Structure 1
Amino acid sequence: MAARGLAVACGALALCLALARATNPGFVVRITQAGLDYAHQHAIAVLEKELAQLKLPDISGDFRIRHVGKVRYEISRLDLRSFHLPYSRISLVPNVGLQVAISNAFAELDGNWRVKLHFIRDHGSFDLNVENVYIKINLKLGSDAAGKPTADTADCSTRISKVRVHFSGKFGWLYNLFDRAIEPRFRDMLQSKVCEIVASSVRSELQPYLRTLPVTARIDAKAGIDYSLVAPPTATAQSLDVGLKGEFFSLAHRSAVPFPPLALAFPPDHDRMVYFGASSYFFNTAGFAYHAAGALVFEITDSMIPKGVEFHLNTTTFSAFVPQLEKMYPDTPMKLRLSAPSAPFLTIGPGGLSLTPVVDIQAYAILPSSSLAPLFLLGLTSNVSAVVDVKSGHIVGSLKVGRIKLSLKHSDVGTFQVRTLQSIMNIFASSILLPRLNARLDQGFPLPLPDRIQLSNILVRFHQNFLLLGADVQYQPRGPR
Structure 2
Amino acid sequence: MGMQSVAVACGALALCLALTTATNPGFVVRITQAGLDYAQEQAIASLEKKLAQLKLPDISGDSRVLRVGKVHYELSRLRLRDFHLPYSRITPISNKGLQVSISNAFAELDGDWRVKFLFIRDHGSFDLKVENIYIKILLRLGSDTTGKPTISTPDCSAHISKVRVLFSGKLGWLYNLFHRVIESRLRKILEDKVCDKVAMSVYNELQTYIRTLPVTARIDDKIGIDYSLVAPPRATTKSLDADLKGEFYSLAHRSPVPFSPLPLAFPSDHERMVYFGASSYFFNTAGIAYHEAGALVFEITQAMIPKDVEFKLNTSVFSAFIPQLEEKYPNMPMKFRVSTPTAPFLTVGEGGISFQPIVDVQAYAIFPNSSLAPLFLLSLTGNVSAVINVRSGRIVGSLDVGRIRLSLKDSAVGTFQVRMMQSLINILTSSTLLPRLNARLDEGFPLPLLDRIQLSNILVRFQQNFLLLGADVRFQPRG
Judged with a 3 Å threshold, the aligned counterparts in structure 2 of structure 1 residues 307 and 12 are, in CA distance, closer, same or farther, namely: farther
Partner of 1:22: 22
Partner of 2:40, secondary structure, is helix
Q: 1:175 offset after TM fit, Å? A: 2.3
Partner of 2:109: 109
For residues 192 and 266 of structure 2, the distance between their equivalents in structure 1, rounded to whole angstroms, comes to 42
8 A contact 1:150–1:207 mirrored in 2: yes
8 A contact 2:298–2:337 mirrored in 1: yes
8 A contact 1:364–1:375 mirrored in 2: yes
Partner of 1:77: 77
Partner of 1:262, secondary structure, is coil
Partner of 1:162: 162
Partner of 2:456: 456
Partner of 1:78, secondary structure, is strand
Q: 1:13 offset after TM fit, Å? A: 12
Partner of 1:441, secondary structure, is helix
Partner of 1:478: 478
Give TM-score scaled by structure 1 length: 0.95
Partner of 1:418: 418
Partner of 2:353, secondary structure, is strand
For residues 155 and 399 of structure 1, the distance between their equivalents in structure 2, rounded to whole angstroms, comes to 51
Tell me whether 431-440 or 307-316 shows the greater mean CA deviation.
307-316
Q: Map Cα deviations across residues 130-153 of structure 1 (whole Å, 9 max, x no partner).
A: 000000110001111111111111
Q: Map Cα deviations across residues 53-73 of structure 1 (whole Å, 9 max, x no partner).
A: 101000111223343322211
8 A contact 1:28–1:276 mirrored in 2: yes
Partner of 1:150, secondary structure, is strand
Query: Does 1:178 find its partner at 2:201?
Result: no
For residues 78 and 286 of structure 1, the distance between their equivalents in structure 2, rounded to whole angstroms, comes to 60
For residues 16 and 122 of structure 2, the distance between their equivalents in structure 1, rounded to whole angstroms, comes to 72
Aligned ranges for residues 381-400 of structure 1 at < 5 Å?
A: 381-400=381-400
Tell me whether 226-235 or 301-310 shows the greater mean CA deviation.
301-310
Number of residue equivalences: 473
Tell me whether 432-441 or 298-307 shows the greater mean CA deviation.
298-307
8 A contact 2:167–2:173 mirrored in 1: no
For residues 152 and 237 of structure 2, the distance between their equivalents in structure 1, rounded to whole angstroms, comes to 20
Judged with a 3 Å threshold, the aligned counterparts in structure 2 of structure 1 residues 128 and 20 are, in CA distance, closer, same or farther, namely: farther
Q: Map Cα deviations across residues 407-438 of structure 1 (whole Å, 9 max, x no partner).
A: 11111111110111111100000010001110
Q: Which amino acid aligns with 1:436?
A: R
Q: 1:20 offset after TM fit, Å? A: 9.1
Partner of 2:434, secondary structure, is helix
Give TM-score scaled by structure 2 length: 0.95
Q: Map Cα deviations across residues 375-410 of structure 1 (whole Å, 9 max, x no partner).
A: 111110010011100001000000000000001111
Partner of 1:351: 351
Q: Which amino acid aligns with 2:324?
A: Q
For residues 12 and 86 of structure 2, the distance between their equivalents in structure 1, rounded to whole angstroms, comes to 53
For residues 404 and 454 of structure 1, the distance between their equivalents in structure 2, rounded to whole angstroms, comes to 40
Aligned ranges for residues 275-314 of structure 1 at < 5 Å?
A: 275-314=275-314
Partner of 1:317, secondary structure, is helix
Q: Which amino acid aligns with 1:278?
A: A
Q: Which amino acid aligns with 2:179?
A: F
Q: Map Cα deviations across residues 239-278 of structure 1 (whole Å, 9 max, x no partner).
A: 1000000000001111111110010000110000000000
Partner of 1:249: 249
Q: Map Cα deviations across residues 335-379 of structure 1 (whole Å, 9 max, x no partner).
A: 111100000000000011101000011111112332211111111
Q: 1:15 offset after TM fit, Å? A: 6.2
8 A contact 2:165–2:183 mirrored in 1: no
Q: Map Cα deviations across residues 54-95 of structure 1 (whole Å, 9 max, x no partner).
A: 010001112233433222111111111110111111111111
Partner of 2:81, secondary structure, is strand
Judged with a 3 Å threshold, the aligned counterparts in structure 2 of structure 1 residues 16 and 368 are, in CA distance, closer, same or farther, namely: farther
Judged with a 3 Å threshold, the aligned counterparts in structure 2 of structure 1 residues 355 and 259 are, in CA distance, closer, same or farther, namely: same
Judged with a 3 Å threshold, the aligned counterparts in structure 2 of structure 1 residues 195 and 14 are, in CA distance, closer, same or farther, namely: farther
Q: Which amino acid aligns with 1:330?
A: P
Partner of 1:40: 40
Aligned ranges for residues 354-369 of structure 1 at < 5 Å?
A: 354-369=354-369
Partner of 2:266: 266
Q: 1:312 offset after TM fit, Å? A: 1.0
Partner of 1:419, secondary structure, is helix
Q: 1:176 offset after TM fit, Å? A: 3.0
Partner of 2:100: 100
Q: Map Cα deviations across residues 192-231 of structure 1 (whole Å, 9 max, x no partner).
A: 0000110111111111111111110000111000000011
Partner of 1:335: 335
Query: Does 1:240 find its partner at 2:219?
Result: no
Q: 1:16 offset after TM fit, Å? A: 10
Partner of 1:317: 317
Partner of 1:158, secondary structure, is strand
Q: Which amino acid aligns with 1:156?
A: C
Tell me whether 361-370 or 124-133 shows the greater mean CA deviation.
361-370
Tell me whether 224-233 or 308-317 shows the greater mean CA deviation.
308-317
Partner of 1:187: 187
Partner of 2:461, secondary structure, is strand
